[in-house]
């Protein structure tokens, strides 16, 4: 692994990752994958709390979750509550382009490492604050995790099936969404700072981020005045577009427009359904969705799901199996897309990591560094800062 590759698009950019758990670390890993020098600033002794998370142990002290969100970074332990640690952080901040932190609002002010303090010594800094509910507002001081953001944003109100107990999305949409929006914001601000010489403070929250996913739901509400309700696997824009039951189990399919609807009617040898008074148009199929699915599933019961998927794809109708994670990652397409990769680690040996979610075809992302051990790069980073400032400093 080559820790420095000047051909990567973010080579030469330094990011201080003063965040823990998921949204901040994931955003910083995306930057690191593209060549940024990401220094993970961690509390001495414990480090990022995700190092000790999850209900199973690896060979070393770090969890598999930590190993999947922190590749390509360097680790520096620093006691930001101490005068010595804070002074070293200031020196480090003068060399940085971006700082990402996810303390609860008000904490960085007490630590004296907030945006105003850093801007005074580095006007070009892009300072990203990630929190549950934002830096201002009635809920700003509340602790916030993905679950709370899903619940309080409205997302859980449309997840699952009507009349059943609350269900959250199976993946951390608020955390990952916030990581992606924060990355979009900080890169935009960084580009602007190169032109103006002035950075800025970016306020990214799980709450705002997951609410941004509600485009269809809120468009429906603002247009009709009817609050959106959970629809299971179906869709408010078209039908049939959901999981449907075949002889051996479920698969997903979508005949979302009139052309596809006609093709589906022909495929199941029910041409009369094409102009049926309950199903002839998209609005009618949405209005009579339950009857529509019951009608279709009577036909689907004659064959297994795999056969239906093959027949629909051959007819040009979008369809697919419902796979488990192992089936998706280990299947032929997931393997081809390299969505599971193995990287070298000094304790774990070969360790699996989720692959790069976007493929940069001109300047491909690279694994340049293993997920760092706690404080692994203390001496290296201290030496770099000492050389720049010409004085002796120690990380606490």
Whole-Å CA distances, 171 to 11, 12, 322:
31, 33, 16
Instruction: Report phi then psi at 298, rounded to 5.
Output: -65, -35
Q: Which two tokens stand for residue 384?
A: 């770099």
Task: Work out the burial of residue 358: count CB atoms within 10 Å of its CB; fewer than 13 is exposed, 13-18 middle, 19 or more buried.
Answer: exposed
Rounded-to-integer distance, Cα 260 and Cα 114, Å = 55
Q: From 174, 165, 161, 296, select the one nearest 234 (Cα to Cα).
A: 161
Active-site option among 97, 175, 203, 217? 175
68, 54 contact by CB (below 8 A): no
Residue 160: left if φ>0, alpha if ψ -120 to 50, beta else—which one?
left
Report the interhelical angle of 83-93 vs 378-389 (nearest 10°): 70
Strand, coil or helix: 393: coil
Q: Which two tokens stand for residue 327?
A: 């089936």
Rounded-to-integer distance, Cα 379 and Cα 29, Å = 22
Side by side, the strands of the sheet bearing 200-205 are 73-77, 37-42, 14-18, 98-101, 126-131, 200-205
Rounded-to-integer distance, Cα 394 and Cα 29, Å = 26
Rounded-to-integer distance, Cα 134 and Cα 107, Å = 13
Catalytic site residue 175?
yes
Whole-Å CA distances, 395 to 118, 152, 374:
18, 40, 13
Angle at 127 between CA 121 and CA 129, to 5 degrees: 135
DSSP assignments along 33-86, one per residue? HTT-EEEEEE-TTT-SGGGG-SSS--SSSS-HHHHTT-TTEEEEE--TTSHHHH
Terminal CA-to-CA distance of the chain, rounded, Å?
29
Active site members: 175
């Amino acid at each position: 692994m080559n820790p420095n590759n000047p051909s990567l698009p973010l080579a030469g950019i330094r990011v201080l990752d003063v965040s823990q758990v998921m949204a901040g670390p994931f955003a910083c890993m995306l930057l690191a994958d593209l060549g940024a020098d990401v220094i993970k600033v961690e509390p001495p002794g414990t480090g990022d709390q995700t190092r000790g998370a999850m209900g199973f142990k690896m060979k070393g002290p770090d969890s598999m979750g930590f190993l999947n969100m922190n590749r390509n970074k360097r680790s520096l332990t620093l006691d930001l509550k101490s005068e010595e640690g804070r002074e070293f952080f200031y020196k480090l901040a003068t060399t940085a382009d971006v700082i990402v932190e996810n303390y609860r609002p008000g904490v960085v002010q007490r630590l004296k490492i907030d945006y105003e303090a850093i801007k005074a010594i580095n006007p070009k800094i892009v300072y990203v604050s990630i929190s549950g509910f934002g830096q201002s507002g009635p809920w700003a001081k509340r602790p916030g995790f993905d679950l709370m953001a899903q619940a309080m944003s409205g997302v859980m109100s449309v997840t699952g099936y009507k009349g059943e107990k609350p269900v959250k999305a199976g993946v951390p949409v608020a955390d990952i969404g916030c990581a992606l929006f924060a990355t979009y914001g900080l890169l935009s601000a960084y580009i602007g700072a190169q032109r103006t010489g002035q950075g800025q403070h970016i306020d990214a929250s799980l709450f705002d981020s997951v609410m941004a996913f509600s485009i269809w739901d809120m468009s429906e509400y603002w247009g009709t005045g009817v609050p959106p309700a959970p629809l299971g696997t179906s869709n408010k824009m078209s039908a049939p577009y959901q999981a449907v039951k075949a002889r051996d189990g479920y698969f997903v399919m979508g005949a979302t427009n009139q052309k596809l609807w006609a093709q589906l009617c022909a495929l199941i040898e029910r041409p009369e359904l094409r102009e049926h008074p309950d199903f002839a148009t998209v609005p009618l199929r949405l209005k009579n969705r339950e009857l529509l699915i019951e009608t279709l599933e009577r036909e689907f019961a004659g064959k297994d799901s795999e056969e239906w998927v093959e027949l629909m794809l051959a007819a040009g109708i979008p369809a697919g199996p419902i796979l488990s994670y192992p089936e998706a990652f280990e299947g032929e397409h997931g393997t081809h897309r390299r969505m599971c990769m193995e990287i070298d680690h000094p304790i774990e040996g070969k360790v699996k990591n989720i692959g790069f979610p976007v493929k940069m075809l001109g300047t491909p992302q690279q694994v340049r560094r293993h997920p760092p051990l706690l404080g692994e790069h203390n001496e290296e980073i201290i030496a770099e800062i000492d050389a720049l400032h010409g004085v002796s400093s120690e990380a606490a």
